[in-house]
Chain A
Amino acid sequence: MPIINDTLFFDEKAHGEALERALMMSPQEVVMEIRESGLRGRGGAGFPTGTKWMLALSAKADKKFVVCNADEGEPGTFKDRVLLSEYTKLVLEGMVIGGYAIQAQKGFIYLRGEYAYLLEHLNTFLERMRKENRLGDNILGTSFSFDIEIRLGSGAYVCGEETALIESLEGHRGEARNRPPFPVNTGYLGYPTIVNNVETFACAYIVMSKGAQWFAKYGTEKSKGMKLISVSGDCKKPGVYEVPFGITVKELLELVQADRTKAVQIGGASGICIPMSEINRNISFEDIPTGGSVIIFNEDRSMLKVLRNFMEFFVEESCGQCTPCRVGNKKLLEGVEMLEKGECSHRYLNELIELGKTMQIASKCGLGQSSPNPFISIVTNFKDEIMSNSIRGNNGR
């Protein structure tokens, strides 16, 4: 049974002195500690953070960069906003630790343009860190120097994809790159770069302050630690929750006091939609991985309307360079429109599901690969509802 009442983030007294501890260790030791903690990327993809850092540490280059991905654009996600505004120290010092671990000189926070109002707070905090010698030259009297610059996004969801983010930092259109080479090798301006989610840096901080073992006692076999979940939609208590990995959807629904629930969208627009019959599934990299967005729909909601909203999102937010994502999402949206009019035959619907599967494996980046998820899961799990519209113009609900 997961430990629900503990918290890594929300108890400030428990935060400890991670930076001090990290700087007393060698970069290799820091990386090993992160590896042992089992920390995996909190943006959703779940790549082992320790491995990422180790690759960047072992890459030979005269410059290296740390990028904090604060382009929190996934619909239904807002936990990074909370971390950045209320637990700033965890994130920023987590970045400094990351910088030390890979021996970088500079870090960027890629802050989404929608969060521009956080800029002042963050800059003030950075200034304070510089004054306290926790940032800048010879941090805490060591030979390690590192500084952080904030860059704003300008309203493009795809820039949350790490290579698109780097393209954007370099002044290009936010179009995902070919991989390999990976950013840990060839990142910002061609230099080794780690791109980690806001929450990942905060977790790294916790790991360094409490130790890998302590962190790893939370969660499941392959998903260690606690996870921040942003809950919105039809429930009494929406907000950010800290839960251990492995929590079932049912438990989460109880926690946020949702009732008359029909469906739960986990992972935002790029996540999957599960019906009530599957609420015993759990949130973890083993079962349902997520960056932290949970949107709840009650029995009054039209799933077709929900789906349309997601597909419109992808049609506009795809970067537009690769065929499966650029055109595929449009075809899926057209399919939704046909369903609304009752014009989509079951045969064509199956064609579209197959197209979705192609998009999942043939798109260039994570955006395109996950964009058909809501389509496939909604039309599969709610087939009776979405196929109920009549060709004679009865628009269902």
Chain B
Amino acid sequence: MADKIVEGRAPVSQKPHTVESKENGDIGGLIEIEINGRPYSVPFGITILEACKRNNIHIPTLCYHEDLCLAGACRVCVVEIEGIRTLQAACAYPITGKIKVWTTSERVRKARRHILDLLLSEHYGECYSCVRNNNCELQTLAKEYGVDFYRFGHIKEKRYEVDRSSYAIVRDMDKCVLCKRCVRTCIDLQEVGVLEATRRGYATLISTFMDKPMLDVICINCGQCINRCPTGALRAKDPSDDIWRAIDDPTKHVVIQTAPSIRAAIGEEFGLPPGNSMTGQMVTALRMIGFDRVFDTNFAADLTIMEEGTELLLRLKRKLLFGDETVKLPQFTSCSPGWIKFIEHFYPEYLEYLSTCKSPQQMFGAVIKTFYAQEMGLDPSNIITVAVMPCTAKKFECNRPEMNSSGFKDIDYGLTTRELAQMIKEAGIYLPELPKSHFDEPFGDASGAGLIFGATGGVMEAALRTVYEIVTGRPVPFENLAITPCRGMDGVRQASVVLNDVKDEWKFLEGIELKFMIAHGTANAKKVMEALIRGELEGYHFVEIMACPGGCIGGGGQPIPTSPEIRKKRAEAIYKEDAELPIRKSHENPHIKYIYEKFLVDGPCGHISHKLLHTHYTKRGKYIV
């Protein structure tokens, strides 16, 4: 965690403190301090906030976020230290001496209350008309500190127009408390650079370049800012009203697909702790809401593996067997729409490295409006395709003009986990109590390979399970198919497998060490791209990139809050479910076999799939008009 921040671009002041070793202990060595009059032993150099957390002493925070570099700006976490006149921000104060800390003294309580009063006086609107009602950190703090009147008044007029220009992200600056979490997310964590504090003093405002609408700046729609916004200043664009309307319309056949990472997170919206898989209950709920068919995006993930894996093998064949030097390797995955927009903007000269595969969401949409429509005898113009995604960038992706190869919009609406939970609640359903049920035919339940797409490294692992077996005829040489080098939360990971005793048709791959790399979070994607430009990825074959930290389980459409711990729990839930599934490899999914027999008859990367399941990219560049 700390390493990641140190490598980032955060200003020196916001990086974790380097603490020189002194007589009274090294960094990590224990030091005796006093908190609220009681003695504690804490590691030298950790912050007061961290020390309190470890000892179950609650300190309120607002601008602090585990994923982000320090700000120390909101001052909500101030504490009193004996001998220091001013209060200190617990989030930013490193313990390097035998200090005595008071976390709830009168001075502290009064200061915190004043700070809340100040924030509330500037916070326009009322809670019941806010998307973050009941999940707002400012609201929680106000309750915690017993705010029952506006001491310094309350702003009565709206000052800013809500920016709804983006397909994915809605900005309402009237609700902003200037904690700068979005700034730190966008600039330091993701290195996209859409949002920054501008102006000065009371006029300070978080804004885009030249205050342009979100649609006109280089936003990759990853939505990580939404996940970290403590209030409702940033939210996703919610299409649920349109979806309800489609459900209510008897002439429309409304199908929904649910991405692998939804099931691992949606329980949190109903008060469950992170890491509870809700697959069966969710399917039941979606039926109760009134969707005509409930499909599993994992099926499309399996389809993606077939296409993307084949594409990789074809690239290898063209390069290694035919000596075609125009073939670009390594092949980069294309499942993450945030990553796609990132590379289109920042590395437009390298688009040929991307797999041409559409993302599973879009593949599924194309299949539903063609193959499925045929099978069911439905008019595709009456089919409404909804995709529940952990992702806000999917809302942009489904509106890309090229995503209509079926003759119709592949996916009509992208819905986030949070918005789906809202629909379920609106339908009067308490998800955790529902009986389980299965996804609908003809796509049925999918393989574990499709499921693990939800975590960083999952696409790589799924692809390897299939590619290795196609080439060698044997399963990947990892216990219980768990390709552990693909797993984990390190920002950039790399590993390799050697292809031995390959099948005759893949002789040119004999003895080749298949090298792959995995990165998540676009700041890490940037590192990989810079390495590619420097020529350091020579000899690599396949790179998986996910725009969001942790992959889809940490997506911008997932339940709020997010933290490294929460993302780890969600990933564990996915890997656990994979291990329990009867089918673990994409190419063994009978429904996949069926669709290649019946519909995509010229096989993976054949003509039909090229038309329906593959796409092209746009050199966007980073100049903002």
A contacts, CB < 8 Å to B: 59, 156, 158, 163, 167, 170, 172-173, 175, 177-178, 180-181, 185-186, 189-190, 314-324, 326-331, 334, 351, 354-355, 358, 360-364, 369
B72 interfacial by beta-carbon distance below 8 Å: yes
Contact B87 A351 (CB under 8 A): no
Are A323 and B152 in contact, CB atoms less than 8 angstroms apart?
no
* B interface list, Cβ under 8 A from A: 11-14, 17-18, 20, 70-76, 78, 85-87, 89, 92-94, 96, 107, 110-111, 114-115, 118-119, 121-122, 151-153, 177-178, 180, 197, 199-204
- Enumerate chain B residues within 8 angstroms of A314, measured Cβ to Cβ: 201
- Contact yes or no, A362 B197, CB < 8 A: no
- Assess the B72–A364 pair: CB atoms within 8 A: yes
5 A-B pairs besides A172-B11, A321-B71, A322-B72 with CB distance below 8 A are A316-B202, A321-B180, A322-B73, A324-B115, A355-B114
CB distance from A129 to the nearest CB of B (A): 30
Contact B204 A326 (CB under 8 A): yes
Contact residues in A for B197 (Cβ distance below 8 Å): 173, 175, 320-321
Q: In the assembly, what is the distance between CA of A315 and CA of B202, in Å?
A: 6
**Contact across chains for B13 and A319 when beta carbons are under 8 A apart:** no
A334 to B155, CA, bound (A): 13
Instruction: Label chain B's interface by main secondary structure.
Output: loop
User: A316 is contacted by which of B17, B72, B74, B200 (Cβ under 8 Å)?
Assistant: B200
Scoring B72, B74, B75 by chain A CB atoms within 10 A of each residue's CB, the highest score goes to: B75
Q: In the complex, A261 Cα to B445 Cα: how many Å?
A: 88
With A180-B96, A316-B202 known to touch, is A323 a contact of B17 (CB < 8 Å)? no
Given contacts A318-B202, A324-B75, contact A362 B85 (CB under 8 A): no
Q: Which of B73, B93, B115 contacts A180 (CB 8 A)?
A: B93
List the B side residues contacting A190 at CB < 8 Å.
12
A180–B89 Cα distance when bound, in Å, is 11
Chain A: CB-nearest residue to B204:
A320
Q: A321, B152: Cβ atoms under 8 Å?
A: no
Is the Cβ of A317 less than 8 Å from the Cβ of B201?
yes
Q: How long is the Cα–Cα vector from A178 to B89 in the complex, in angstroms? A: 8
Query: Once A and B bind, how many residue pairs between them come within 8 Å at the CB atom?
Result: 132
Q: Which of B96, B107, B110, B118 contacts A327 (CB 8 A)?
A: B118
CB of B118 within 8 A of CB of A328, answer yes
Are the C-beta atoms of B86 and A362 separated by less than 8 Å? yes
- Determine the chain B residues whose CB is within 8 A of the CB of A316 once the complex forms: 200-203
* A-side contacts of B17, CB under 8 Å: 180-181, 186
Query: Which residues of the other chain, A, contact B78 by a CB distance below 8 angstroms?
Result: 362
Instruction: Give min CB distance, B103 to chain A, whole Å.
Output: 14
Residue of B nearest to A190 (CB): B12
Question: What are the 9 tightest A-B residue pairs by CB atom distance, in nearest-first order?
Answer: A320-B204, A177-B13, A178-B92, A327-B118, A358-B114, A178-B72, A362-B111, A318-B201, A321-B73
Chain A residues, Cβ within 8 Å of B86: 360-363, 369
- Smallest Cβ-Cβ distance to A351: which chain B residue: B151
Max chain A C-beta neighbours (<10 A), residue from B115, B122, B202? B202
Pick the contact of A361 from B107, B121, B178 — CB < 8 Å? B107
Contact present for A331 and B152 (CB under 8 Å): yes
- Some 6 contacts from A to B, beta carbons below 8 A apart, are A59-B20, A178-B89, A186-B13, A317-B200, A351-B152, A362-B75
* A361 and B111 form a contact (CB under 8 A): yes
Determine the distance from Cα of A370 to Cα of B560 in the docked complex, in whole angstroms. Answer: 38
Q: What are the residues of chain B within 8 A of A320 when measuring CB–CB?
A: 178, 197, 199-204
CB contact under 8 A between A322 and B12, given known A180-B17, A358-B111, A362-B111: no
> Across the interface, do B202 and A326 meet the contact criterion of CB distance under 8 Å?
yes
Q: Which of B14, B152, B201 has the most CB of A within 10 A?
A: B201
B172 nearest CB across to chain A (Å): 19
Beta-carbon contact of A186 and B96 below 8 Å: no
Contact of A323 among B18, B70, B118 (CB under 8 A): B118
CA distance A156 to B201 in the complex (A): 10
Distance from B130 Cβ to chain A, minimum over Cβ atoms (Å) = 20
Residue of A with least CB distance to B62: A323
CB neighbours (8 Å) of A323 from chain B are 73-76, 115, 118-119, 177-178
In Å, the complex CA distance between A155 and B311 comes to 58
Taken together as a complex, chains A and B put the C-alpha atoms of A167 and B200 apart, in Å, by 15
Bound Cα distance from A186 to B92, whole angstroms: 14
Expressed in whole angstroms, the Cα–Cα distance for A170 and B94 within the complex equals 24
Q: Verify A181–B18 contact, CB threshold 8 A.
A: yes
Contacts of A318 in B (CB 8 A): 200-202
A329 touches which one: B76, B115, B202, B204 (CB < 8 A)? B202
CB pair A326–B96 under 8 Å, yes or no, is: no
Q: Could you tell me if A363 and B202 are in contact, using CB atoms closer than 8 angstroms?
A: no
A348 to chain B, nearest CB (A): 9
CA of A173 to CA of B151, assembled, Å: 31
B114 touches A163 (CB 8 A): no
User: Which of the residues B11, B20, B114, B200 comes within 8 Å of A354, measured between beta carbons?
Assistant: B114
A390 to B121, CA, bound (A): 26
Which residue of A is nearest B122, CB measured? A327
Q: How far apart sit A263 and B203, CA to CA, in the bound complex (Å)?
A: 32
Q: Tell me which of A156, A315, A324, A326 contacts B114 (CB under 8 A).
A: A324
